[in-house]
């Protein structure tokens, strides 16, 4: 009869058997690629703190999207780096804004071959680096910001976005965006809400990629989630779904696997997780020093996020992992 441990090992003795009995599986269709497009450059520029990640021109962005689509990646999410910033972030809703020009080019090139998502926030476009307009005290003013988010959503929808992804963590942002889209006839445009976005120390490389510095050495702890709180995060998710979110996101991913699992148990809508810049950069830095196998760790980490309950994962590893999974 043997020891119970032996019976368990019998189920792991070959690669084919392990594959057959895998309880969760990561596939290329689970991946969304975050991409950056920068205004006013003639060639793609590397992001020093994100090895392998580029700030694209519109032309190189379209080329990269075509490559990712060919590798089986079903979706991308686009972030813009404008040439000019101001107190309100007006380039975020300008028809000539870099993201809208890029979205139109992607749509013309790819048609319906890829799902085009657009990050919806003001921080890349404001000269103070916050996710909303500021009041007289220098604090983010929630309600005036909602009106601007509505304008951004409409601009992104007109440019060809399939899904808008509000990331600013303003109260009522999903409702304001859904109303604006529906009022203008964009009923088909979905909303992926950054519903449980934590005030994490893991966003540093991303801020390099979008040239964002928060004025006065400030932070976003007043409107992003407290990393110590799970129940509060679940409440935020619940509110966003009630306001009309089609999908919800947990960000970051690896440090919040318990949140992903709890959200998955609590809701019926698709759940996304963002494997953020710091999580990616740590693996790349260690791999460059020969301390670990970067590709193996990437697969392990993304598999853990999927196992925790995420339906899809936003990750800078998307292109690399797509090639690994397709090999």
For 312, counting Cβ atoms within 10 Å of its Cβ (0-12 exposed, 13-18 middle, 19+ buried), the class is buried
119 — phi, psi (to 5°)? -65, 135
**What does the DSSP 8-state code read for residue 33?**
E
Beta-bridge partners for 77: 34, 117
Residues with Cβ < 8 Å from 34, sequence gap 6 or more? 76, 77, 79, 314, 315, 316, 318
Q: Which residues contact 193 (CB under 8 A, 6 or more apart)?
A: 165, 166, 173, 174, 240, 241, 245, 247, 248, 249
Q: Which of 146, 260, 249, 232 is nearest to 195 (CA)?
A: 249
Q: Which helix (H) or strand (E) holds 156?
A: helix 142-159
- Return d(Cα 191, Cα 178) in angstroms, integer: 8
Helix (H) or strand (E) holding 219: none
129: left (phi over 0), alpha (psi -120 to 50) or beta: left
> Contact, 61 vs 37, CB < 8 A?
yes
Residue 37, beta-bridge partner list? 56, 80
| Bridge partner list, 54 | 46
Provide the annotated active-site residues: 197, 251
Long-range contacts of 293-300 (CB under 8 A, 24+ apart): 295/320, 295/321, 295/324, 298/324, 299/26, 299/324
Q: What span, in angstroms and rounded, lies between the C-alpha atoms of 313 and 145? A: 28
Bridge partners of 191?
A: 164
């Amino acid at each position: 009869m043997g020891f119970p441990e032996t019976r368990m090992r019998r189920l792991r003795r070959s690669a084919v058997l392990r594959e057959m009995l895998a309880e969760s599986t990561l596939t290329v269709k689970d991946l969304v690629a975050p991409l950056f497009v920068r205004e006013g450059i003639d060639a793609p520029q590397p992001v020093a703190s994100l090895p392998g990640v580029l700030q694209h021109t519109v032309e190189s962005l379209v080329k990269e999207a075509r490559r990712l689509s060919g590798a089986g990646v079903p979706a991308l999410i686009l972030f813009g780096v404008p040439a000019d910033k101001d107190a309100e972030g007006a380039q975020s809703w300008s028809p000539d804004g870099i993201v809208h020009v890029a979205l139109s080019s992607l749509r013309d090139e790819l048609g319906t071959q890829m799902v085009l998502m657009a990050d919806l926030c003001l921080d890349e476009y404001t000269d103070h680096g916050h996710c909303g307009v500021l009041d007289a005290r220098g604090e983010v003013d929630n309600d005036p910001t909602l009106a601007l988010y509505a304008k951004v959503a409409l601009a992104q929808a007109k440019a060809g976005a399939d899904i808008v992804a509000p990331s600013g963590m303003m109260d009522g942002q999903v409702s304001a965006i859904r109303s604006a889209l529906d009022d203008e006839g964009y009923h088909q445009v979905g909303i992926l809400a950054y519903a449980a976005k934590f005030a994490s120390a893991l966003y540093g490389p991303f801020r390099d990629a979008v040239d964002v510095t928060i004025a006065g050495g400030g932070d976003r702890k007043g409107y992003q989630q407290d990393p110590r709180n799970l129940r509060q995060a679940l409440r935020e998710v619940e509110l966003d779904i009630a306001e009309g979110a089609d999908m919800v996101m947990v960000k970051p991913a690896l440090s919040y696997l318990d949140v992903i699992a709890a959200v998955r148990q609590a809701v019926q809508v698709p759940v996304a997780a963002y494997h953020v810049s710091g999580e990616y950069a740590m693996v790349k830095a260690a791999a460059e020093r020969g301390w670990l196998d970067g590709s193996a760790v990437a697969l392990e980490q993304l598999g853990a996020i999927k196992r925790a309950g995420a339906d899809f994962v936003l990750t800078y590893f998307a292109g690399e992992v797509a090639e690994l999974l397709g090999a």
